[in-house]
Amino acid sequence: MSVSRRTLLLAGGTAATLLPLGGILPAAQAATPSAAGATPAATPIPDLIPVTGTWTRTSDGGQKATAGRRGPALALSEQQLAAKGAYAACVTPQSSSSVGALVFRAALDGSTGYAVALDPGRSRIRLYDLAGGDTLATAPLPGAQAGKPYDLEVAVDGPELTVHVDGKRLLHTEDHRHDTGSVGLLAQDGTVTFGPPSLSSVTTNLTGWTTSGGTWTPSPLGWRAAPAQGATARAITTTKAYDTALQADLLLHDASAIASLLVRTDATATHGYGIQVDADQGRLRLYRIDGNVTLGTYATTIKAGTVYRLRVEAEHDELRVHWQTNFLSPDGYSPVITAQDSTHTKGRLAVTTSAGAVSFENIAAADLATGLQGWTARSGTWTPDLRGIRGENGLRTAPFADGELVARADITPGGPSSSAGLVLRASANGSGGYEARLEAGRNAIVLLDRSSGARLAHASGPVRRIASGGTYRVEARATGRTIEVYVDGVRALKTRVSRTKGAAFGTAAAHGASYFQNVEVHSTADYFTEPYRPTYHYSQLRGSTSDPNGLVYYDGEYHLFHQDQGRWAHAVSTDLVHWQALPIALPWNEYGNCWSGSAIVDADDTSGLFDGGSGLIAYYTSYHPDKPGGNAGVRIAYSKDKGRSWQWHGGSTPAVQNPGGPDAGWTFRDPKVIRDEAHDQWLMAVSGGDHIRFFTSTDLLTWTQVSSFGYGDWATPGVWECPDFFPLPVDGDKDKVKWVLTLSTGAVRATNGSAAQYFTGEWNGTGFTPDQKAGTVLRADSGRDYYAAMSFYGLPDDRRVWLGWMSNWDYPFSAPTGAWNGQLSTPRELTLTATADGVRLAQRPVPELVTLRTSTTTREDLAVGPDSANPLAGVRGVAYEIEAEITLGTATEIGFRLRTDDDRHTTVGYDAEAQELFVDRSASGLSDFTQYFAGRTTAPMKTTGGRVTLRVFVDSSSVEAFGADGQAAVTSLIFPGPDAEGMAFYAKGGTAHVESLKVHRLDSTFRLVDRVKPLVAAPTGGEFRSDLGKLTITPAGRWSTDSAGRAASGAGRAASFDKDSNAISARTAADLDLTTLVRLGGPDPDTGGALSLLWRASSDATDAYCLNIDPDLRVIRLVAKTNGYFDDGAALARVPALVRRGTTYPVRILTEGHRIQVFLNGTRIIDVTDTTYADGHIALNVFGGRAAYQDTYAKEL
């Protein structure tokens, strides 16, 4: 795992890592953020895109809508409204029959959500559900008149919905159906005119806010609190919690201000705990509110106008404070204050300020991770918790109307008699249905009929006891009249039931408290069926899958661990093909992140960790974000229960320290441990960047370095990482054994992004002697997308099987796949073969994959030339395997065009003249999400007697090609459309002979239905209002336009790219007044991105003035970019700001002579002079995600 990878992941954000948020002061000449009250509360929203009806944009930016007889006129914006905010527009129904409505928290297509309608004909306001039209509440509208404009506003605070008309509150109700979604407008029965809609919001996952002691103003730059003279401004939520974490980004507007986060407090904030940020005192102070008892302090420099991130955790009687001050050198992972106090165990959450104004942003508490909306507590007590959601003696439900479903959750029974379960197919109010329940007191798994109380089936824990404090992955599958329950990755129950439908899903807790986390429910039609989702390759339901880690076989199970943002995710299988996901095995801990490593079976308790029995030991790279270079070292975790729970070993001392010492940042990572039977020892290989260090041990705990390999002429381009080291017989001869050292290199262009390489040689117990000369590079897989490959430890029959991460360091996490990212290759069995060029590694897909074959199409004894008919015409598929034996004859090239439609295909073929196997994905499908994706990849491959043998595995988004009995391999990702199912065989330059060609259709290992889920697409067809003229895109990128050249997004000219992409205008200017509306991120909250405005730029935009806005870094920077780069330390101005995703910002850049002024939301934030550039082009930029520009005009002065 490379440093660049770690940097990228840290920048992407994690729940446990406090992100760098611009803690560096602005340059001396930079202006500070706007003064109190200068930032408007509301922000413009992206244009509404018509879904139905007739819509016309008015001169003031509003809309005129006409609904006909076919139904209402609906238009939607990509703007989202979630937990807390307000949405408003002036609504003018043009006739007594016309009805105008605000739409909010709606689905992208408007199929679900809320609408609040102004109906003058009936003199009322009506709030209703879009999905079924159910009326939720009404209120009279006295004196209603057609043609009269009304200022209509809806305010949301969690389930609390309040409607104001002309500033008067007319309606207030509570409804739990929808938590977040798009805003829009709706007209019914005639014509309605709408003024420009606006929105204000607070970014938080907390609800039930009460404010006092001053003014609290939501703005695009945070929730600004200004206390009254001598008072404390408080915002207190009704949300209560026991063990919790509360976090916020904050900016002090006044040096005298004292900002605080409160936990376990009450409705008046007179008891509980607080953490103060006090700039005057230069400290953080943790205190118990009642009695004003100081529990701990931390001295730190705090300055007004700078963004910080503050986090307080309360777990049992321990309180921890984390403080993030810097983004260039991230800090804040370790707590700066730790204290013990048991006075308060539960209470509310709050933010406060006194003696000055403060803006708070992203106020978030630890909570349940779930994709469901509309949760309602039906009974008992439910509170957010560090472990997800804490339920005590009650039921909590969410709407879910599909009876065919897969539900999963990580459940922790809290007490010795606690029971906790998942409720399926319940009625809308939570009654009835079935419960898949864990009973800690009985070590039981039960399927309960909640209507009759009957226990339909029961079993004991299939892997370990069901006990309090243990966390269990529970998965329930309901298909027709059958319900299956899996616990710990093993099917525990399967039974027949009578009820096949329901309206709600739920979580239930009884006999005390239990905890639920990662609750996911999907209809079987939507389960693992998204576009590009692999059919038979491993991928996670959600999350980021990368390096395989700790592959091990133990007691009848294959364990697959892999990286998920510095944690070890986990799945198990009994056949190497079908995998059951388990909870995170190795999470972030007090010593840092758990990066890549390996696992072994300690069968004889060599370590002494297993009380005379056996178990699993994991060796992982411990990476501490606060320390130089992460101070990577090797740490140990072990499991006594077949990998279902893990304990840390060694305390603060790593098993193998960083070679540079406890504070060093030397490259040192990815330990691979194996058994060296020939020398009666254990062996560890660890990457050192340009070398491998070897360590040995006799007790698995104490390790001694014995040698190293690499450095100097041996070092190849890119960082060496993820080593594997193992012996293999040559051609199956156990008397002739070679050792194989594999590694991955990246991320540099010299390796085409990254590469899988290997050496063969001898191991004498202390050192490795390679067969190859220095500088010789052997490729294990020549494809772009095979990285960090790892082999299993302890397979039966001494097989050596490995698999790799299918990605490349040119675009490691850039695949356009949404909530899931990353997939692993097919498992491959490794062998060594003697060739004329020396001993070479060969790999063949494991025979277990044959069990997936469902049907076969065969072609034999065919002559195929350039003009021949396609022998595979009519054969279609998405997931299949090809076995082919082809005699070249006079053909110079043979191959397959796979995953074809009218204009797309991927070619897998053999070039006889070059003697190469190749995969060409130049026309395979989507490729504009990154720069270096499209193209052709080759692997050297010789034939015997002119006969080509190929084996090709094709899936939804990948191709794996093997030739010459596995001596050549090319692995490539592809992203064709779901309808690209065709295939063809061809020959060029002459006639080839098909000896045998078989296409085996392969069954899915995850899906329960044979379909691809259609995407719910946002409406398209917006316009980009600008005078920039034609824009030239460089170096690549997806700048959305429709066929008429109009922007496909209401946000204007929207762009997506994983690196820098520029849209350069042909216009040039010296002095100018540039105005625009900019927007960061996408319609969904998970899409990030930064942007830059460029002016006085060179024709390729490598030299330019650049205004960079980055919400992840919480900073706005003005820089002079040279040769495509800029030095952050040499920025002309740096203005810390609480800019955020999903919000539109008006930006103005006024450049006159040497003077540059920048305005944000109408307030000047930068005023500098500089002489670097005098004139040039204007350009728009996106980096690392999505950004959009609207109303972009450049006036030359």
> Cα-atom radius of gyration of the chain, to the nearest Å?
31
Helix (H, G, I), strand (E, B) or coil at 712: helix
Phi, psi of 465 (to 5 degrees): -65, 145
CA nearest 597: which of 574, 575, 612, 616?
616
Are 1146 and 1155 within 8 A, CB to CB? no
Tokens of 233: 């401004």
Could you please report the per-residue DSSP string of 594-625? Answer: EEEEEEEEETT-TTS-STTS-EEEEEEEEE-T
Are 610 and 683 within 8 A, CB to CB? no
Non-local (6+) Cβ contacts of 356 within 8 A are 227, 252, 253, 254, 255, 256, 257, 258, 304
Non-local (6+) Cβ contacts of 1119 within 8 A are 1105, 1106, 1108, 1126, 1127, 1128, 1130, 1131, 1132
- Cα distance between residue 873 and residue 897, in whole Å: 11
Q: What torsion do the CA atoms of 579, 584, 585, 586 make, to the nearest 10 degrees?
A: 140
Helix (H, G, I), strand (E, B) or coil at 691: strand
Helix (H, G, I), strand (E, B) or coil at 11: helix
DSSP code at position 824:
B
- Cα distance between residue 598 and residue 584, in whole Å: 15
Q: What torsion do the CA atoms of 1109, 1111, 1114, 1119 make, to the nearest 10 degrees?
A: -20
321-325: list long-range contacts, CB under 8 Å, 24+ apart.
Answer: 321/275, 321/284, 321/286, 321/296, 322/18, 323/18, 323/284, 323/298, 324/18, 324/19, 324/20, 324/21, 324/23, 325/23, 325/300
Give the E-state strand segments of 316-346 in sequence order. Answer: 318-324, 337-340
Amino acid (1-letter code) at residue 607: S
CA nearest 105: which of 374, 292, 302?
374
CA nearest 194: which of 264, 122, 118, 245?
118
Handedness of CA 544, 546, 548, 549 (dihedral sign): negative
User: Which residue numbers are catalytic?
Assistant: 547
- Cα distance between residue 468 and residue 413, in whole Å: 5
How far CA 768 is from CA of 719, 735, 772, 795, in Å, comes to 20, 19, 12, 24
User: Would you tell me how many other CB atoms lie within 10 Å of the CB of residue 498?
Assistant: 10
1008-1011: list long-range contacts, CB under 8 Å, 24+ apart.
Answer: 1008/406, 1008/477, 1008/479, 1008/524, 1008/527, 1009/524, 1009/525, 1009/527, 1009/529, 1011/525, 1011/529
Handedness of CA 381, 387, 388, 394 (dihedral sign): negative
Q: What angle do CA 433, 438, 444 make, to 5 degrees?
A: 115
Beta bridge mates, 358: 225, 252
Tokens of 425: 């197919």
Distance of CA 1153 to the CA centre of its chain: 44
Q: Which residues of 156-191 are buried (b: 16+ CB within 10 A; e: fewer)?
A: bbbbbbbbbbeeeebbeeebebbbbbbbbbbbbbbb
How far CA 1142 is from CA of 579, 1024, 1139, in Å, comes to 36, 18, 10
